[in-house]
Structure 1
Amino acid sequence: MHALKKQRPLRRVVLAAASTVTGVVLLLSLKPHTPPTVAQASSSAGQSPSRSSQSPTPTSTAGSPKSSTGAKTVTGDTVQTRWGPVQVRITLKNGKITDVTAVAYPSDNPKDQEINSYAIPQLRREALAAQSAQIDSVSGATYTSDGYRQSLQSALDSAGL
């Protein structure tokens, strides 16, 4: 006969109770990802973004020059990703992209901040090098990369490129 069914029914009860308690503790230790808030970023890639609870309004200033040198700034659409909104602003001069700034990206929790601290500068470098939205995704930041690419394409479309 089996060892648990012999003369010790209490052993079976104790094992079942211990298993149940362990399962409940493991379930309660899981924490869902908190929804990120929209962050405003400065044009400098190394600075950390300041937090804002309001979503920036997507604006397009494609028709109005930024300065007399022919430079203009265009802000792409806000793209909702799994971890939060992503929005990109580009500066154009003589039909070339001279600057790309992430206006909004997920930075609500330390994990988002860690991922985007290396992803956003990499995406910026790639966009400037490619002069288009045909850029590679950054490993570990797939959702941000997709949102960045879509917002960048939106800005390029608004600028007529």
Structure 2
Amino acid sequence: MKKKLLLFALLTLMVAFAFGCAGGPKWQDGTYTGVGEGLQDDITVSVSIEDGKIAAVEVVEHRESPGVSEPALEQIPEIIVENQSAEVDVVAGVTYTSDGIMQAVSDALSKAE
């Protein structure tokens, strides 16, 4: 009898935990703008949220060094969409630009909460 009661209690807790963890979407759908600090100046991004997920990240304005910053400007937005997070690894050689993009995306996502 005690084993059945213990099993029932354990199953009840597991079900309650599963439903408690199943929240709604992380972010509200829409397009949000965010700003972060790059090496040269501010970096502005546009973040599109669809079905509560990051659908697209676009760098809309920056004054980073042409050519040098291109790897971060191209790769970081793609990696953010893939990982569904603004916290990703920086691109080697363009740390400040990478960090600025991530800051800008975090700023935009804070507006989508």
How high is the TM-score relative to the length of structure 1?
0.50
Letter in 1 for 2:83: A
Provide, for residues 44-86 of structure 1, a one-character-per-residue CA deviation record: whole Å limited to 9, x for no partner: xxxxxxxxxxxxxxxxxx98xxxxxxx510001x223331111
The offset of 1:124, in angstroms, is: 1.2
Provide, for residues 86-110 of structure 1, a one-character-per-residue CA deviation record: whole Å limited to 9, x for no partner: 1111001110111100012224xxx
The offset of 1:117, in angstroms, is: 2.0
Find the counterpart in structure 2 of residue 104 from structure 1: 61
SS at match of 2:55: strand
SS at match of 1:151: helix
Find the counterpart in structure 1 of residue 33 from structure 2: 75
**Higher-helix-fraction structure:** 2
What's the RMSD between the two structures over aligned residues?
A: 1.8
What is the rounded CA distance, in whole Å, between the counterparts of 1:97 and 1:79 in structure 2? 18
**Compared with structure 1, are the counterparts of its residues 116 and 81 closer, same or farther at alpha carbon in structure 2 (3 Å cutoff)?**
closer
Q: Is the 8 A contact 1:88 1:101 kept in 2?
A: yes
| 1:128 lines up with 2:81 in the alignment | yes
Return the match for 2:90 from 132, 137, 141: 137
Find the counterpart in structure 1 of residue 42 from structure 2: 85
| 1:158 lines up with 2:111 in the alignment | yes
Identity of aligned pairs, percent?
31
Q: Structure 2: 5+ residue runs without aligned partners?
A: 1-26
Q: Is the 8 A contact 1:127 1:135 kept in 2?
A: yes
Q: Structure 1: 5+ residue runs without aligned partners?
A: 1-61, 64-70
Provide, for residues 92-134 of structure 1, a one-character-per-residue CA deviation record: whole Å limited to 9, x for no partner: 1110111100012224xxxx11122222111011101111111
SS at match of 1:113: coil
Runs of 4+ in 1 over 6 A off after TM superposition: none
Q: Is the 8 A contact 1:72 1:92 kept in 2?
A: yes
